[in-house]
Chain A
Amino acid sequence: MKIVLDHIMPVPLASIQHSAESIWGNFVELNDREKILLNASSGKGKSTFTLTTIGLRNDYEGKITYNSEDIRTFSPDDWAKIRQEKIAVVFQDLQLFPNLTVAENLLLKNSLNHVYSEKELLHLLERLEIDNKWSQSCGLLSMGQQQRVAIIRALCQPFELILLDEPFSHLDEENTQRCITMINERCDELNAGFVLTSLGDTHQFNYDKELKL
């Protein structure tokens, strides 16, 4: 899927001076299978980029298109289909269900596309060393553990692009590497790309492109 940000300027960021390299106010293309790092300091709009691109915020000027189609024309059902099959997201605030267990959080999302079996989900948790949390409520997990659950949940669907909004902010280096390896493998498996927002850390990954805000 080709995503174009055609001179996008979020209304809350319009009063801030942006650099010439910033994606805000410029023409930017996110091409198929590209693995992109979006690097910026705090308050420059990393989460705004994620939420605007996935259609959760409409307070911007300019135009965003998916394969040349203006996303403002999409219906709620169109968005449901896109979020189920085209674009996966790891939100900065994770958006897990704290009253459900880890298993329930994953199985609920997995019920939309039936991508993984329970055994496979457990294996993914095992790779990130939280398989022992399977039956535990998400609300009782540490932020780092919750981040890992949110990453696995985002992988429980087919996608062409995955948006990762500071997904490793609470993880140590070892776990970060495990996560980025898992995401990269899944992207390769699906011929998909990703956009990873970061506060400056590259996480020792070789990106196709680096964008700035």
Chain B
Amino acid sequence: MLNKLLFKNQDLKQLVIAVIGAFLGITFLITSIHYLIKVNEFGKGSEILGPNTVIVQKKVSNSTSLNMTKTDFSENEIKKYKEMPFILDVKPVTSNNFDVSFETADPMVPRFRTDVFIQTVDPKFLDVKSKKWHWKEGDKFVPIIMPREFLVMLNTFMSAQDIPQISDELAKDINFKFTLKNDTGKEWVDARIIGFTNEVSSILVPESFMEYGNLKYTTGKEKKITQIMIEGKESEFGLVEEMLNEYGLETKASQMIVGRLKSVVGTLFLVVLGISIIAVFVSGLVLIQYMQLLMSRNAYEVRTLLRIGFPPKDIIKSFFTYFVKIFGIVAALGLGTFFIFKFFLDAMFESGGLYIDTQISLTAIITLILSYVLFGFASYRTARKGIFRQY
């Protein structure tokens, strides 16, 4: 009866406009947040480098080959890159300053030996969750991360020897060993593969192992920084790419493609997110304004209800519940439409080769709940203010 009295005679045009606005806003808000997160998460876990991180070196040209320009990085250059606004951090990639060779040491596989180039990077840049990623003198073996090309090469070698090829998991069970040496000494250290990477072209070892080798078996030559790691800000990878071109730096193409793709898609969803936030905010305001209009139209009814003994909280509850129900329906419809969008967008991404995680983003759902709570709070405050104005 109270609802009939307060909500029967309405000009529904404004309400319908606000509801459509809120519906579109909510739908795109959830969709953009969900995909913004999923696109940024893309690649995480499958690679060892952290998000938006690349290893770069100076481009080798004819002049560098003739020793006219340097290919190593100075401290000043690293400092300059670090100060750029779109860069989060820059760290040198440390290489071995001692002679090291790598060989198989397992009866299961034929002997295979090669001189190698090993590197280590600041653990902050690595996305390696394995507890095995540490080494100290006296440990049974040193953990290593291998470039995937190495496994391809090893399998080619095995194939040529008529030996069955090995998988990633099997490779992790094979015993290898490093030979560390200089003019005065030699040492063998067992090694085990704990992971593979497409991003780094050398064998990665823990920092402590590199320090040990560089200290004990140093060649005494000046240690040059020929590669650095750059961590760019999310959605600003385009600027990192521009900077690389400007300073004659290069990186693995695959790293740049993923970074560029994430940057473009991320920016796109960021724009949609911005528009969605504005749409939700504006439509929320229109709904609140409509509530004020409704209370003002029903001023006589509200005043009379108070005069004949209706508690203010009952009338506030009527307005609050009515508008919270409307927003609830809008939120449910928005969520439903998001699921339909998601079905098609996930299929589109998949057909485009972007295998993003299809699980619903918790942040998107929390945002929806937060919008609902905020609207509920604003509705309650508006209803309370409007009713007490008639008192």
Q: Which residues of A contact B (CB under 8 A)?
A: 54, 56, 76-77, 79-81, 83-85, 89, 91, 95, 97, 99-100, 104, 107-109, 111-112, 153, 157
Of B67-75, B89-97, B101-109, B306-314, the one touching chain A: B306-314
Contact B312–A76 (Cβ < 8 Å): yes
List chain A residues, Cβ under 8 A from B4.
Answer: 100, 104
- In the complex, residue of chain A having the shortest beta-carbon distance to the beta carbon of B308: A109
A68 CB to closest chain B CB, in angstroms? 23
Contact flags (1/0) for B285-315 with A, using CB distance below 8 Å? 0000000000000000100101111111100
Within B87-126, the residues touching A (CB, 8 Å) are: none
Contact A91–B307 (Cβ < 8 Å): yes
Given A56-B307, A91-B307, A97-B301, residue A104 in contact with residue B312 (CB < 8 A): no
A100 CB to closest chain B CB, in angstroms? 6
A134 CB to closest chain B CB, in angstroms? 15
Contact A97–B5 (Cβ < 8 Å): yes
Contact A95–B1 (Cβ < 8 Å): no
User: What is the number of residues of chain B that contact chain A, defined by CB distance less than 8 Å?
Assistant: 18
**B9 at the binding interface (Cβ < 8 Å):** yes
Contact B307–A77 (Cβ < 8 Å): no
Contact A80–B309 (Cβ < 8 Å): yes
List chain B residues, Cβ under 8 A from A79.
Answer: 306
- In the complex, residue of chain A having the shortest beta-carbon distance to the beta carbon of B391: A76
The listed residue (A89, A111, A112, A157) touching B307 by CB distance below 8 A is A89
Contact B304–A95 (Cβ < 8 Å): yes
A51 CB to closest chain B CB, in angstroms? 9
The 26 sampled A-B contact pairs (Cβ below 8 Å) are: A76-B306, A76-B311, A76-B312, A76-B388, A76-B391, A77-B311, A77-B313, A79-B306, A80-B306, A80-B310, A80-B312, A81-B311, A83-B307, A83-B309, A84-B311, A85-B309, A89-B307, A89-B308, A97-B304, A100-B4, A100-B5, A104-B1, A104-B5, A107-B1, A108-B5, A112-B310
Nearest 5 CB-CB pairings of A with B: A83-B309, A84-B309, A80-B311, A95-B304, A108-B1
A157 CB to closest chain B CB, in angstroms? 7
- In the complex, residue of chain B having the shortest beta-carbon distance to the beta carbon of A51: B307
Of the candidates A54, A80, A157, the one having the most CB atoms from chain B within 10 angstroms of its own CB is A80
Given A104-B4, A107-B1, A108-B2, residue A153 in contact with residue B9 (CB < 8 A): no
Contact B1–A111 (Cβ < 8 Å): yes
**B8 at the binding interface (Cβ < 8 Å):** yes
Contact A112–B309 (Cβ < 8 Å): yes
A182 CB to closest chain B CB, in angstroms? 19
- What 10 new A-B contacts, CB under 8 Å, besides A84-B309, A100-B5, A153-B308? A76-B391, A80-B310, A80-B312, A83-B308, A84-B311, A95-B304, A108-B2, A111-B1, A112-B309, A112-B310
Contact B9–A95 (Cβ < 8 Å): no
List chain A residues, Cβ under 8 A from B313.
Answer: 77
A105 CB to closest chain B CB, in angstroms? 9
List chain A residues, Cβ under 8 A from B306.
Answer: 76, 79-80
- In the complex, residue of chain B having the shortest beta-carbon distance to the beta carbon of A107: B1
Contact flags (1/0) for B377-391 with A, using CB distance below 8 Å? 000000000001001
Instruction: Give A170 to B74 CA distance when docked, in angstroms.
Output: 102
List chain B residues, Cβ under 8 A from A107.
Answer: 1
Of the candidates B1, B5, B301, B312, the one having the most CB atoms from chain A within 10 angstroms of its own CB is B1
List chain B residues, Cβ under 8 A from A112.
Answer: 309-310
List chain A residues, Cβ under 8 A from B391.
Answer: 76
Contact A95–B307 (Cβ < 8 Å): yes
List chain B residues, Cβ under 8 A from A85.
Answer: 309
Given A76-B391, A80-B312, A104-B1, residue A99 in contact with residue B307 (CB < 8 A): no
- In the complex, residue of chain B having the shortest beta-carbon distance to the beta carbon of A113: B309
List chain B residues, Cβ under 8 A from A109.
Answer: 308-309
List chain A residues, Cβ under 8 A from B310.
Answer: 80, 112
The listed residue (B8, B308, B311, B312) touching A99 by CB distance below 8 A is B8
List chain B residues, Cβ under 8 A from A83.
Answer: 307-309
Instruction: Give A144 to B5 CA distance when docked, in angstroms.
Output: 23
Instruction: Give A84 to B311 CA distance when docked, in angstroms.
Output: 9
A158 CB to closest chain B CB, in angstroms? 11
Contact A77–B312 (Cβ < 8 Å): yes
List chain A residues, Cβ under 8 A from B388.
Answer: 76
Contact B5–A157 (Cβ < 8 Å): no
List chain B residues, Cβ under 8 A from A153.
Answer: 308
A50 CB to closest chain B CB, in angstroms? 11
